[in-house]
Amino acid sequence: MKGEGFLTKNISNFTHTLESVILTEDLCHAPGLLQSLDSRVKVVTFVLFIVTVGLARSLAILGTIFVLILIFSFLSKVSLRFFLKRVLLFIPIFTAVIALPALFITPGEPLIAVAGKLIITEQGARTAVLLFLRVVDSLSFGMLLILTTPWTSILVALRWFRIPSLLVDILGMTYRYIFLLLHTANSMFLARRSRTIGTLSSGENRRWLAIALATTMAKSQHLSEEVYLAMLSRGYQGEVRVLNDLRLKRRDFLWVAFALLAAFILLWGNSL
Amino acid sequence: MHIPDGYLSPATCGSMYAVAVPFWYLAVNRVRKVLTNRTVPVLALFAAFSFVLMMFNVPLPGGTTGHAVGGTLLAIVLGPWAAVLGVSVVLGIQALFFGDGGLLTFGANCFNMAIVLPLVGYFIYKVIASNSEATSPRRLLAAVAGSYLAIVAASFAAGLELGIQPTLFHAADGTPLYAPYGLNVALPAMLIGHLLIAGPVEAVVTGGVFAYLQRSHSSLIKADAPRKKEGKLWLLWGALGLLAFATPLGLLASGTAWGEWGVDELKNMGLGFIPQGLEKLAGWWPAPLPDYGFPRMGAVIGYILSAVVGIALVAFLLWMLGRWLSRKSLAKQESSAKEASIE
Amino acid sequence: MTMDAGHIFEAKNLSYDYPGGIAALRRTNFTIGTGELVALVGANGSGKSTLLKLLDGLLFPTEGKLLAFGQPLSEKALKDGAFVTEFRRRVGLVFQDPDVQLFSPTVWDEVTFGPLQLGITKDEVVSRGLKVLELLNIVHLRERPPYLLSGGEKKKVSLASVLSVSPQVLLLDEPTTGLDPWSQGNLIDFLLQWADKGKNLVFSTQDLDLVEEIASRVLVLGAEHNIVADGKPEDFLFDPDFLLRTNLIHEHSHRHKELVHRHPHLHEHHHQQ
């Protein structure tokens, strides 16, 4: 049923997002390797790793990195199935589909022929796999960061990196209110679905979508005014003052050393 | 249109961050000036709204569905610079907390969706709507057209970033190291996809919400006409922006630009004699970037970086000029205001 | 700026219009002294929330004057950093909607926000935060983000976020709305205990039982957006005609077989007659 499909699809999108947050909250506090590291160190080293992934030129290096990633996730109590599902689903598969034509149209030495006429070139094969691995590796690091670090710690790390506190305050408050608005939007969709018998035309759905969005926007506007008053009421005078109690432990230094060494060795592999 | 990590080389990612930073800086200053203490709650709540908007799965006639960005809508309601910050915040949250869109490509994604999109959309909206009533159909058309063209422009930028990868970054045997398709594939692919699907989705969402706002919350729409000076400034920036976009297209053309011949080129062209003045001048001005290339880098990276530096320089000079001019006119206004003051 | 602790609040011909021009409050006059526990009652739309926001210096009178601790609460006065800090240290407002009150990433951030903005030292902030969490039995919620809290928990955290500043005056907008009876009882006990130390309470409510249990004084706002009654609860809270006139109760009828029993809907009192 077309009409139901539209509502249900959106409801499951929202619900999925709302629920995934609860899942990750638990994982952030598990007694694993990555969870025990300072968030600033994690952000810096993970960016270093992703840059390494970006600079790597051989499939062997990218493959090694993926093995490293699996080891990290194992040591951080992240279940393999859960991790692979989260990483591989959607973006890497999407990438594989996009890279498919490259197999054939990239100029170079022919590798194998498919279905008689189509020829996969060596360069084509390599570029497709390179892209796929790069995407998987980079995405994995991003995922690991999110799964093992409470988002509030990421905010503290950003503040420490001298990102303007105005932007960090906005990031934090935005994240906080996303869930409220998602919940509100979800309720609207659920209410609408419970009153829908049969299919609705695409046009009716679009019309209703516009109303749902505009209502959410008006609510955001109203909330922004009230929240401002609530902030003023508690002494806000233009800049949020925060508690900062991050401390580096010995294992953080060890980890940084390890990351630098790993990056160096991996990139040295480029010249091989 | 979120480009994941891996599609763009670290060098491209770095350049795009460099391009985005001045826009972010400008946006923070502009927004703070208007919203002052309200900046945090207003931007946060509207960014949260944008996030929700981006999550909606929108049905198009014919059965396809898509997701909107909503940058133009945000620019219309909150102003272009607030939209730049707001969409950047959403992209940041998507990248940092949801793994949607890369951490290295954040600069590029912001440039496309948080800078090009809202600014182009707002510019076109203002030009078409001019000073019509908040509830007029002309304004609705302006919103729809602006949002459609904005997302197409953003996709063009994304197509450029992706399309130059194989030329600039490939292995010795020709294997593209990042996004594997050149401009001749990437550009049409991005453009067609957005002209036919993402564009209409964006237009439908923006138009639908805007129309509803016109009916029920028209106070959210400001109906003032763009100030004359502001309009001319926009035109200038728009032209510069267009030129900036076009520079990579220079890579598609081969041979040196007409008129930009150096002494050696002239000799080769058969002009046995070299205009004497030219010979004298050739050695005199040791331009910091001889022949448009940074020393010791690939010629093409050099070409692009030079374009960026060149445009930045021109833009900076124009900005200084603009500041000087507006200070002069402000002084003139102040002195005439003093004479005409009513107290 | 010295603050006179004699009168807490003084309203002289206080009026407020919404930005569109619609009246919210008209020519109200009252004073609130130290230690008073004041209930604001009135039908929906009578201006209770607006009055609380005025008392908290979030809105400013369109006409008339409002004084707090002897100083005028004007837009100009609230631009002075020192005055703002002192005022915000003494007066706290708990908003009706916890989602408005709880704007910080976690409960801990929320509870420490107030003291931090007032410039209190880091150690003192931490100790106050812990104390207030213990006081309301929500220590286990410390790292929770607000969207993972239940309605009752949210209300507790809202209260905690204001109490951590140790205010002298607590303003509450409909504190028991949405709470189950058990939580309501808990809250009432807590407020009475807190106020016992000579503090001030000003709360708006639709619940007349709450008024009876807590308030030492009642301000009734009428349909004309002014104060129609000001005095001790027992003076007019048991007058059904008055209550009907000011829309604080409704007339209710039910059937006992063929008999239609019509009486003002006020709890045990009509049965006493």
Quick: pLDDT tens for A113-143: 777 778 888 888 899 999 999 999 999 999 9
Structure tokens at B321: 């000029």
Q: Quick one: B188 and B264 in the same domain?
A: no
Look at residue B318 and tell me if it is in a domain: no
Residues of chain B with pLDDT under 70: 223-343
**Same-domain check for residues B191 and B67:** yes
Task: Tell whether B185 and B82 lie within a shared domain.
Answer: yes
Indicate the SS3 state at residue B167.
Answer: helix
In a domain, B301, yes or no: no
Contact assessment for residue B46 and residue A219, using Cβ atoms and an 8 Å cutoff: no
- Which residue in A158, A175, A208 has the most chain B C-beta atoms within 10 A of its own C-beta, making it the best mutation to test that interface? A175
Same domain, B210 and B274: no
Q: Which two tokens stand for residue C171?
A: 């303003």
Tell me which residue in B57, B92, B171 faces A13 most closely, judged by beta carbons: B57
Query: Residue C154: exposed, middle, or buried by beta-carbon count in 10 A (0-12, 13-18, 19+)?
Result: buried
Tell me, yes or no, whether B98 and B33 share the same domain: yes
**How far is the C-alpha of C204 from the C-alpha of C54, rounded, in Å?**
13
Check residue B65 and give its pLDDT.
83
Identify the domain containing residue C175 by its residue range. Answer: 34-55+90-237
What DSSP assignment string belongs to C136-173?
TT-GGGTT--GGGS-HHHHHHHHHHHHHTT--SEEEEE
Binned at pLDDT 50, 70 and 90, residue C248 comes out as confident
Q: Is there a single domain that holds both residue B84 and residue B173?
A: yes
Question: Hey, of B3, B29, B78, B96, which one would you mutate to test binding to chain A, going by the most A CBs within 10 A of its CB?
Answer: B96
Please give the structure tokens belonging to residue C200: 């001030």
**E strand spans, chain C:** 7-17, 23-33, 37-42, 63-68, 71-72, 91-94, 169-173, 200-205, 217-221, 227-231, 251-256, 259-264
Looking at the fold, whether B187 and B274 belong to one and the same domain comes out as no
Q: C222 Cβ partners below 8 Å, 6+ apart? A: C42, C46, C228, C246
| B310 lies in some domain | no
pLDDT, tens digit (0-9, with 9 covering 90-100), for C29-45:
999 998 899 999 987 77
**Residue B58 host element (H or E):** strand B58-59
- Which chain B residues have a beta carbon less than 8 Å from that of A69? none
Q: How far apart are CA C86 and CA C1, in angstroms?
A: 9
The answer to whether residue B130 sits within a structural domain is: yes
Instruction: Lowest mean pLDDT of A259-268, B314-323, C212-221, C250-259, name the range.
Output: B314-323
| Count of domains forming chain B | 2
- pLDDT tens for each residue of C197-215: 889 999 999 888 888 888 8
Those of residues 78-107 in B touching chain A at CB distance below 8 A are: 85, 89-90, 92-93, 95-99, 102-104
Q: Which residue of A has its CA nearest to C126?
A: A243
Partner A contacted by C97 (CB < 8 A) = yes
Q: Examine the pLDDT at A2 and tell me if it is beyond 70.
A: no
Picking from B81, B58, B59, the residue whose alpha carbon sits closest to that of residue B71 is: B81
Give the pairing of strands A118-121 and A110-114: antiparallel
Asked whether residue C218 is assigned to any structural domain, the reply reads yes
Judge whether residue C273 has pLDDT over 50: no
Phi-psi category of A116—alpha, beta or left, where left has phi over 0 and alpha has psi -120 to 50? left
pLDDT of residue B57: 86
> What's the pLDDT at C43?
79
The whole-number average pLDDT for the span C166-179 is 91
Separation of alpha carbons B310 and A86, rounded Å: 43
- Three-state DSSP state, B118: helix
Are residues B265 and B151 located together in one domain of the fold?
Answer: no
Q: Do the Cβ atoms of B13 and A54 come closer than 8 Å? A: yes
As given in the structure block, the two tokens for residue C186 are: 């808990």
CATH number of the domain that residue C225 is part of? 3.40.50.300
Q: Considering the domain boundaries, does residue C272 fall inside one?
A: no
Say whether both B274 and B150 belong to one domain. no
When the pLDDT of each residue in chain A is averaged and rounded to a whole number, the result is 88
Averaged pLDDT, A157-173 = 91
Give the pLDDT of residue B297: 41
- CATH number for the domain that contains residue B209: 1.10.1760.20
pLDDT tens per residue across span A218-257: 899 999 999 999 999 999 988 888 887 778 889 999 999 9
Q: Among candidates B114, B72, B116, which has minimal Cα distance to B95?
A: B114
* Least Cα separation, residue B22 to chain A (angstroms): 14
Instruction: Examine residue B323 and state whether it is found in any structural domain, yes or no.
Output: no
Look at A36-45, A118-127, C79-88 and tell me which has the smallest mean pLDDT.
A118-127
Cα separation of A244 and B224, whole Å? 45
**What are C122-133's pLDDT values in tens digits?**
999 999 999 999
CA distance B5 to B15: 15
Q: Where in the sequence is the domain holding B260, given as residue range(s)?
A: 256-280
Is pLDDT above 60 for C108?
A: yes
Could you tell me the CA-to-CA distances from C251 to B33, B335, C236, C244 in Å, in that order? 54, 69, 17, 7
All residues at 6 or more sequence positions from B270 whose CB lies less than 8 Å from its CB, including other chains: none
Residue C79's closest chain A neighbor by CA?
Answer: A237
Of B48, B63, B77, the CB nearest to A181: B48
Q: Which residues of C84-93 are buried (b: 16+ CB within 10 A; e: fewer)?
A: bebbbbbbbb
pTM recorded for the entire structure: 0.82
Chain A stretch 61-80, residues whose beta carbon is closer than 8 A to a beta carbon of chain B? none
- Helix pair A122-148, A39-55: axis angle to 10 deg: 180
Residue of A174, A175, A207 to mutate when probing chain B, most B C-beta within 10 A: A174
Please check the confidence at residue C189 and state whether its pLDDT lies above 70: yes
Neighbours of chain B (3+ CB pairs under 8 A): A
pLDDT of residue B312: 60
Residue B128 and residue B270 share a domain: no
| One-letter amino acid of C16 | Y
| Overall domain count for chain C | 1
Write out chain A residues lying below 8 Å of B171, CB-based. Answer: 57, 126
Query: Least CA distance to C171: which residue of chain A?
Result: A233
Nearest to B79 by CA among B37, B41, B43: B43
DSSP B224: P
Contact A229 C106 (CB under 8 A): no
Residues 6+ apart with CB under 8 A from B211: A210, B140
Q: C95 CB near a chain A CB, below 8 Å?
A: yes
Q: Which amino acid is at C172?
A: L
Query: What residue of A is the nearest CA neighbor of B46?
Result: A220
pLDDT at B310: 58
Say whether pLDDT at C77 is over 50: yes
Retrieve residue B248's tokens: 């990579």
Q: Which residues of A touch B173 (CB under 8 A)?
A: 108-109, 122-123
Where do we find the tokens 């309200």?
Answer: B38
- A 10-29 → B contacts, CB under 8 A: 10, 13-14, 17
Other CB atoms within a 10 A radius of the CB of residue B77 amount to 22
pLDDT of residue C271: 35
